[in-house]
Structure 1
Amino acid sequence: MSSLSDMTLNEYDQRQLSLMEEMLCSYSSGKITLKQLIDNLEGLLFFLQSVDVEWKNDFHEHWFVLEQVYAVALFRNESIDPDDPDIQESLKQLRRLLKY
């Protein structure tokens, strides 16, 4: 696993990573929906410049779990339980990846 502390990050990426953390906090506090979290994280991840591919792949892997949970709930016309173990584990791993 790649760590942000091992990388030389430009100022732009540092801002993007901070915004990613803010999105996770906003979701956890109920300020944004899971769909908004998914969309925002995807956009921010796409525009990272100096973060290595291994880290991006790790982040995408955990982000994709959120996408899958959302897609299944939408397909089944079910509500999304924020305490779903898959969501909580993905959030935990995404926060771990964002630590410097």
Structure 2
Amino acid sequence: MTENVLIALIIGSVVVITFALWMFRDKLGMFSFTANKKSVSAKMERAQNTGITISGNTQNGNDNEISAETANATIDNNSQQGNENRIRAATPNKKP
């Protein structure tokens, strides 16, 4: 019985901590990365000195994008095949 309670407490704690981090991810300045079959992109709004590296990706097909939005981005060794593909690095506008 006590083992089941201990397991339930551990799982509950992990769920609560994960939910709290997810809720406050913007305020904590956490890194967000999204990838799917059409795009690879990275965005860093806070702690911009950390930098982002996107490398070693291969994309086949049309309308693909590899992009980074940060003050310190490195995009190298990526391969795209197809039509209307983009590789883009941008520095976001600083908020007043």
TM-score normalized with structure 2 length: 0.30
Q: Which has the higher contact order (CA 8 A, sep 6+)?
A: 1
Q: Which has the larger share of strand?
A: 2
